[in-house]
Amino acid sequence: MSHLEPILRPARESDADAIAQLHARSWRASNRGIMPDAYLDGPVVEERLALWRLRLAEQNPRHLTFVAEARDGLHGFICFELDADPVWGTLLDSLHVDPRLCGRGLGAALMRVGLARVLEVAPEQPLHLLVFEANAGARRFYERLGGHAESCVPEPLPDGSGTAPAIRYVWPAPVTLPDN
């Protein structure tokens, strides 16, 4: 690892605002046309701030969040929820890389580091996630990491305005990722 690469570490409560800002920026870049413009151009930042402040303050042991931190701030984050579903097991709740830094391997690095910790504490659980059907880049990313498209389900939008079709990707237990 060069000195310019970010450090991957567990998230702290003090990371909440930076995570929320990055989450909103990433949604604005990747979810245009999926989430309403009125939400992405309006309350998305405040709404993500409220969620991340609460989530990191709670210190719920079922939530495992990791950040990629560099000298100039956060470059990405990943969050898992253990025991999220009786059938599908651990949920990959969110994974976001700064839109200016996508395509350089950071998403895969966050996935590998985060998942290694998840498997230490919940080795018997499968892994799943939901990604909007229209998010072709993220779907390619998860397929390359060995996820199987299991079904298409209506995913509620965060502003409560409706749903959008999402693909459920699954990794059966014991979860492994391909080497590269």
Ligand X SMILES: CC(C)(COP(=O)(O)OP(=O)(O)OC[C@H]1O[C@@H](n2cnc3c(N)ncnc32)[C@H](O)[C@@H]1OP(=O)(O)O)[C@@H](O)C(=O)NCCC(=O)NCCS
Q: List residues near ligand X by CB under 6 A.
A: 26, 30, 95-97, 102-108, 129, 131, 135, 137-138, 140-141, 144
User: With contact defined as beta carbons under 8 Å apart, do 134 and 157 qualify?
Assistant: no
Residue 91 CB, nearest distance to ligand X (Å)? 11
Residue with smaller CB distance to ligand X, 57 or 85: 85
DSSP 8-state symbol, 117:
H
User: With contact defined as beta carbons under 8 Å apart, do 145 and 107 qualify?
Assistant: no
Residue with smaller CB distance to ligand X, 124 or 163: 163
Residue with smaller CB distance to ligand X, 123 or 154: 154
Residue 147 CB, nearest distance to ligand X (Å)? 10
List for the chain the helix, strand, coil content (%; round to 5). Answer: 35, 35, 30
Residue with smaller CB distance to ligand X, 16 or 132: 132
Residue 167 CB, nearest distance to ligand X (Å)? 10
Chain residue at closest Cβ approach to ligand X? 107
Residue with smaller CB distance to ligand X, 30 or 125: 30
* Calpha distance 117→112 (Å, rounded): 9
* Calpha distance 143→179 (Å, rounded): 13
Contacts of residue 158, defined as CB under 8 A and 6 or more positions apart, other chains included, come to: 35, 39, 44, 47
Residue 56 CB, nearest distance to ligand X (Å)? 19
Chain centre to alpha carbon of residue 66: 10
Residue 101 CB, nearest distance to ligand X (Å)? 7
